[in-house]
Amino acid sequence: MRTRILIIYTGGTIGMMKDHSTGTLMPMNFMKIITHLPELNQLPCDIDSYSFKEPIDSADMNPEKWINIAEIIEKNYDDYDGFIILHGSDTMAYTASVLSFLFENLAKPVILTGSQLPIGEIRTDGRENIISAVEIATGNKNGKPIIQEVCIYFEHKLFRGNRSHKFDAEQFRAFRSINYPLLANTGVYISYNNSSIGNFNKGEFKVHKKLDDNIAILKLFPGIKQEVVQSVFNIKGLKAVVMETYGTGNAPTAKWFVDTLKKATDKGIIILNITQCKGGAVELGKYITSLAMANKNNIVSGNDITTESAVTKLMYLFGNYSNDIDKIKKLLTKSLRGEMTEYND
């Protein structure tokens, strides 16, 4: 029986064409993309497609559209063996991260890919990205898909989606995953890193459809003003802040800063402390500059989670456990879909 793959086109550079009157890139019809990929007909699978009615630049991606993508896959889950999402690279890591949380007990490949150059360009990277992503999605061993998680495929590499971030705006090697190994490399052969490939299927597939975006990001920098920090924590309806600190979780020890955090946590705002570094993890209390935060009730260590995963995990948790702050804090310290390393206390 031939493998069935559904390609979902959301927009992004891969499907852009140049408006010669203005010089800007605009989304094109999905079927025009397929005409550039006759190689897909040589793969041992049947491919169908679904396109957003109005394809978007990924800068316009939002929680409503994430739910839309999740519902498309939910509706077609039993009819297909794998899913490819064509997506702009700018927010691809956010979408991959949030989908990993929305999909519980996923047992099929969901692979996001795109390109740095439009599919119609002579040197486009999109052609190889799509073809290899589809081939990986058809990969099967002992009657089961080799990949059973949400991934990003870009420039000969398959990443765990919620461990990835966009690293380069110009090079074809746009993504990296510093704190987690690659799932696969493609060359003459597809080489899978079996020890790194996840299996989060523990029951019936379920799609969660609630996200709460009352989240903010606060990136610290030397000289950050008291008024700036306070304005973030005074946002109406704010439920959590992803605070990007220095190194292993360090932050200013100034009284006004510590007092601002205490006032915020006293109001029930959760602060998820993650590092600004692309590699490594938060270790609250390792240095005196993080000791003041180590024992605050609502300040949680994000360990080695990415910013993209931190934001979307909070959206998912508050969307599904909004009245149970203790449970949310507990789940923030747990790896739900392989998004972080769990360290022993």
Q: How far is CA 235 from CA 212, 215, 269, in A?
A: 15, 10, 11
Q: Is 234 found in the same domain as 161? A: no
Q: Is 161 found in the same domain as 32? A: yes
Helical segments of the chain, H only: 30-34, 63-76, 92-102, 126-137, 226-233, 255-266, 288-294, 307-320, 325-332
Residue among 13, 275, 306, 307 flagged as catalytic = 13
Catalytic site includes residue 35: no
DSSP state of 141: E
Q: Is 161 found in the same domain as 112? A: yes
pLDDT of amino acid 345? 47
Q: Is 159 found in the same domain as 65? A: yes
Total domains in the fold of the chain: 2
Picking from 207, 230, 249, the residue at the C-terminal end of a domain is 207
Cα 233 from chain centroid (whole Å): 25
Q: Is 178 found in the same domain as 271? A: no
Q: Could you tell me the residue range of the domain that residue 164 belongs to? A: 3-207
- pLDDT tens for the chain, 345 residues long, are 789 999 999 988 787 766 666 767 666 666 666 666 778 888 889 999 898 988 888 999 999 999 999 999 999 999 999 999 999 999 999 999 999 999 999 999 999 999 888 777 778 888 889 999 999 999 999 989 999 999 999 999 999 999 999 998 888 888 999 999 999 999 999 999 999 999 999 999 999 999 999 999 999 999 999 999 999 999 999 999 999 999 999 999 999 999 999 999 999 999 999 999 989 999 876 665 565 666 566 799 999 999 999 999 999 999 999 889 999 999 999 999 999 998 654
Q: Is 87 found in the same domain as 38? A: yes
Q: Residue 129 phi/psi, 5° resolution? A: -60, -45
Picking from 174, 190, 207, the residue at the C-terminal end of a domain is 207
Picking from 207, 237, 272, the residue at the C-terminal end of a domain is 207
Q: Is 274 found in the same domain as 165? A: no
Q: Is 159 found in the same domain as 85? A: yes
Residue 226 sits in a domain of what CATH number? 3.40.50.40
Query: How far is 133 from 213, CA to CA, in rounded Å?
Result: 30
Where does residue 63 rank: exposed (0-12), middle (13-18), buried (19+ CB within 10 A)? middle
Query: How far is 62 from 76, CA to CA, in rounded Å?
Result: 22
Query: How far is 32 from 17, CA to CA, in rounded Å?
Result: 10
pLDDT of amino acid 268? 93
Q: CB of 245 within 8 A of CB of 271? A: no
Residue 342 lies in a domain: no
Query: How far is 160 from 73, CA to CA, in rounded Å?
Result: 18
Residue 15 sits in a domain of what CATH number? 3.40.50.1170
Beta strands in 130-251 (DSSP E): 140-141, 144-145, 150-154, 157-160, 165-166, 175-176, 184-186, 190-192, 206-207, 215-219, 240-245
pLDDT of amino acid 38? 78
Q: Is 245 found in the same domain as 191? A: no
